[in-house]
Amino acid sequence: MTQVLIAAGVLIAGAALALLLRNNVHRAWAALASQAVATVLVESVAVPTLLEGTDWRGTLRWSYPAEAIAAHLDPLSAFFLSWSLPMTLLGTLYALGYLRPYFKTRNAGPQFALLNITSLSFLLIYTIETATVFLLGWEIAAVAAWLLVIWDYPNQKIRFAGFNYLVSTHVGFFVLVAAFMLMHAHTGSMDFEAFAQFLRAPSPLRGVTFVTLVVAFGLKSAFFPFHTWLPRAHSAAPAHVSALMSGVIHKAGLFGLLRFTLLMGQPEEWMGWALIAFSAHSAVIAVAYTTAQRDLKRLLGYSSTENVGIVGMGIGLGYLGLAWHRPALVALGFTGAILHIVNHAFFKCLLFYAAGSVYRATHLIDLERLGGLARKVPWTAAFFLLGGAAISGLPPFNGFVSELLLYAGFLNGGVPAGVERIALIIAAAVLALVGGISMLAMTRAFGVTFLGAPRDASVHAEADSSKSMRAAMAVCALGVVLVGLMPAAALRVIGPAAALFTRLLPGGGDVGAANALVASTVTPVNVAAGLFLGLLGALLLVRRMLAGSQPAPRHVTWGCGYTAVSPRMQYSGTSFSLQFVGVFEAVLKLLKRVKLPQGPFPAKGSHLNTTCVDSVEQKMFESLGHSENLARRIASLVSAEPTASFAVGLLALAAIAAVALARGGLP
């Protein structure tokens, strides 16, 4: 733990240096160097803890208001630490290239300092088990993310997106505080260990606490319908910030859920069902939204909500396994969920970095105006394609491994026959639907952006991404490929973290058997990947042998006899998903601005503009408007005289007191 403390010191020093140095490049290197040192220090503790499955607890002496701060380093915290810090380091490396065009005109110091502070918040959230300090880490992460988002603050839209995020994240914060207060009221302590005493005993309040925690963590991880801040924030933020928020920072919500699962011990069955229903709902609706977005980063933002939904389905399955005492479901559910968390970090960061490279090259992120970029920015295109295939769960990449574990859980023979079995088979079908729709969304995003001919002649693609951006993408891509090709190694690493949940089973569970089950479940991954790659290699060889010596002739694309084709006639993002959106029209609302050409000689200026609006957000703003009107109407009833207002307030208080007394007195 000493190393973690030193790492925290190094991060703060790095942040200070990034603010104090005079040159933007030096600021970036100060952040990079300090984060690298901190990462090495933290890994030196986290990796042994994770691989050996050790459990360490300690207390830090501090002063008011937290005299003794409980620190806890178990494989779960080690797992989250072990990839969060390196991913933030990669984000900082990417930022070095991404922000370089601004280096001459703007002070990038605060950005780099805030990236250090984000790493620092991970140290607090993942290791501290005293509620007040945990909340401090939570708040630091939220405020740092907000400040990172509004890098381009002169733009009003971006300030609004940032403010929207700030409000949402604090609503979540208050709900979390409420949950902690509830537990504090029953235990008189702020330590998670004391909370555990309360959470382990079945009581109606335990259920209430669980629901409150799920809402708070759901807001942090942007589950539907708590996601409204996310697409805006992700599209407004610089690419490295979107990547880190989506892939790393907001995984803290899932960490919270997993941590409190460990504290809670045996969950009840309804909690598992509630989680599965909530998460499946989140995954389906969010993935439907990904198909209709024009903004590449907004699309990826919705896809985050989809992926936390998939993780939540896995956690819910694990809950059911714990409630039914089925070790297979516990192992498959939690291992699948934990693996999907880190997989998502790899491919989502990769995709956001590639989207950022597109923005750097073209200054655009609107699908409808891009096209044919693969020839201009081949590296970026290759990385995006890799990330898109992985996020759709296709073999031989990492997404397939975690999804296979979840399928093996949902279709497992260990599920009690009856309604339970039907419900879980339906959950598997829902997962399949999500995979299919995700493939549609990614095919559309990649195909429309990178393939075909450029749609807009006024868009000029400059050079491909810089070396530092490419390096960050390459590391993420390596993770995507390695986990996909060597799932056994990945499972060995996360095994001890997943084993914590197996041990919650009565009698401590059989960790060895659980590991063996999970390892045998992923064999199809290796066989499918090996066969596919071998056959593809063989086919490529055959193809080369068939090809003659002279290069194949080139010609224009066949236009089915029509010769005056223009690139504007290509299928655009909207037209690609139009039919699908029609199927889901209940949730997907397309906002159209149309001016059709009229008369035999139409004047110029006719246009059709479609955007997909978030119906939850729309409803929210509508009801906010309604409540404002309502409040105004009520206010107009009360006279402006101060005494009258006081009287009304007093009456309201008296009414509340009367209700409380009638219910059996105040506690």
Partner 1 sequence: MTVALYVLHLGALLLLPILVIGVINRTRAIWAGRRGPPLLQTWFDLRRLLRKQPVYSEVTTSVFRVGPLVVLASALASGAFVPMLRDFAPWPLGFDFVAVAYLWGLGRMAMMLAALDAGSSFEGMGASREATYGALVEPALFLALGTLALVTGGTSFSQLMNVGFGDPARAVIVIGCAVALLIVLQAEAARVPVDDPATHLELTMIHEVMILDHSGPELAALQYSAAMKLTVCAALVASLLNPVPAQFGAVAVAGANLALTLVVAIVVGLIEGLVARLKLSAIPQYLTVAVVAAFVALLAATWLRGGAA
Question: Which residues, 346 to 405, sit near partner 1 by CB under 8 A?
Answer: 371-372, 374-375, 381, 385, 389, 392-395, 400, 403-404
Q: Which is nearer to partner 1, 134 or 446 (CB)?
A: 446
Closest approach of partner 1 to the CB of residue 530, in Å: 9
Q: Which is nearer to partner 1, 304 or 574 (CB)?
A: 574
Q: Which is nearer to partner 1, 482 or 565 (CB)?
A: 565
Q: Which is nearer to partner 1, 28 or 355 (CB)?
A: 355
Q: Is the dihedral of CA 231, 237, 239, 241 positive or negative?
A: negative
Position 560 contacts partner 1 (CB under 8 A) = yes
Q: Which is nearer to partner 1, 171 or 433 (CB)?
A: 433
Torsion of CA 205, 208, 210, 212, to 10 degrees: -140
Closest approach of partner 1 to the CB of residue 486, in Å: 16
Task: Say which residues have a Cβ less than 8 Å from residue 158's Cβ, sequence separation at least 6.
Answer: 149, 150, 151, 152, 236
Q: Interaction with partner 1 in 425-484: which residues (CB under 8 A)?
A: 425-426, 428-433, 435-437, 439-440, 442-444, 446-448, 451-453
Cα radius of gyration rounded to whole Å, the chain: 26
Closest approach of partner 1 to the CB of residue 434, in Å: 9
Q: Which is nearer to partner 1, 22 or 544 (CB)?
A: 544
Calpha distance 249→344 (Å, rounded) = 12
What are residue 666's phi and psi, to 5 degrees? -75, 150
CA 451 vs CA 382, 433, 546, 571, 639: distances in Å = 11, 26, 26, 11, 65
What are residue 543's phi and psi, to 5 degrees? -60, -40
Q: Which is nearer to partner 1, 90 or 581 (CB)?
A: 581
Query: Segment contacting partner 1 (CB under 8 A): 58-66, 92-100, 569-577, 654-662?
Result: 569-577
Q: Interaction with partner 1 in 573-612: which residues (CB under 8 A)?
A: 575-580, 582-583
**Which segments of 150-203 does DSSP mark as H helices, in order?**
156-187, 192-200
Task: Say which residues have a Cβ less than 8 Å from residue 477's Cβ, sequence separation at least 6.
Answer: 350, 383, 386, 387
In DSSP notation, 300-330 reads HHHHHHHHHHHHHHHHHHHHHHHHHT-HHHH
Q: Which is nearer to partner 1, 531 or 631 (CB)?
A: 531
What does the angle CA 89 – CA 94 – CA 96 come to, to the nearest 5 degrees?
A: 100
3-state secondary structure at position 56: strand
Among 65, 418, 506, 605, binds partner 1 (CB under 8 A): 418
Per-residue mark of binding to partner 1, 512-551 (x: CB under 8 A): --------xx-xxx-xx--xx--xx--xx--x--x-x---
Q: Which is nearer to partner 1, 236 or 448 (CB)?
A: 448
CA 456 vs CA 94, 460, 570: distances in Å = 28, 9, 11
Closest approach of partner 1 to the CB of residue 280, in Å: 12
Q: Interaction with partner 1 in 239-298: which residues (CB under 8 A)?
A: none
Query: Segment contacting partner 1 (CB under 8 A): 28-36, 198-206, 484-492, 560-568?
Result: 560-568
Size of the site for partner 1 (CB under 8 A): 85
Among 417, 564, 586, 596, binds partner 1 (CB under 8 A): 417
